[in-house]
């Protein structure tokens, strides 16, 4: 396969971690500003704004290059994505079950694409960091 193919995902430089970290407090400040500027702001959208920003933040952290990008790190990345999707499947099932028990239906206001992307990126990031931690612990 060519290196310039569709499947070659460029990783961000390690300096992008600081930008990614900024995406975690930013939605809270944004929501506070919006609530003061627009009192009719729909409170149901607050969670969606926060989930969206956090999904972007974790996505950037996932795509940030490590100091040493060797085959082991590439293998960890692949395993983290597989693990993240596995955890997401169970997470979606749990959310649907909780929603059904609580509201009598499988959908609710907080169950959205923003939430799913946030959970997926969180699970992938957690799986990747866990693998890095375990590999350093074994040394």
pLDDT at 1 over 50: no
Structural domain contains residue 2? no
pLDDT for res 130: 95
pLDDT at 35 over 70: yes
Structural domain contains residue 127? yes
pLDDT for res 39: 82
Cα Rg for the chain, rounded, in angstroms? 18
- What pTM value is reported for the model? 0.85
Rounded CA-CA distance 18/102 in Å is 39
Structural domain contains residue 40? yes
pLDDT for res 2: 55
pLDDT for res 106: 79
- Burial profile 89-99: b = 16 or more Cβ within 10 angstroms, e = fewer: eebeeebeeeb
Structural domain contains residue 4? no
Structural domain contains residue 70? yes
Contact between 111 and 95 under an 8 Å Cβ cutoff? The reply is: yes
The predicted-structure confidence for 46-103, as pLDDT tens digits, reads as follows 888 999 999 999 999 999 998 888 899 999 999 999 999 999 999 899 888 988 998 8
User: Which comes out higher in pLDDT, residue 13 or 38?
Assistant: 13
- Which percentage of the chain shows pLDDT scores above 90? 54
Domain enclosing residue 56, as ranges: 16-138
Structural domain contains residue 3? no
Arithmetic mean of pLDDT over the chain? 89
Structural domain contains residue 1? no
Domain count, the chain: 1
């Amino acid at each position: 396969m060519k290196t310039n193919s569709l499947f070659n995902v460029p990783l961000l430089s390690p300096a992008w971690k600081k930008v990614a970290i900024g995406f975690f407090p930013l939605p809270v400040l944004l929501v506070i500003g919006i609530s003061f500027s627009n009192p009719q702001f729909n409170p149901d959208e607050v969670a969606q704004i926060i989930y969206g920003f956090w999904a972007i933040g974790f996505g950037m952290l996932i795509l940030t290059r490590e100091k040493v990008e060797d085959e082991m790190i590439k293998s960890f990345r692949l395993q983290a994505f597989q693990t993240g999707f596995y955890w997401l499947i169970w997470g979606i099932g749990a959310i649907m079950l909780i929603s059904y028990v609580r509201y009598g239906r499988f959908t609710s206001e907080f169950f959205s694409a923003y939430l799913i992307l946030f959970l997926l990126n969180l699970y992938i990031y957690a799986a990747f960091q866990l693998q890095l931690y375990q590999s350093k612990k074994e040394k």
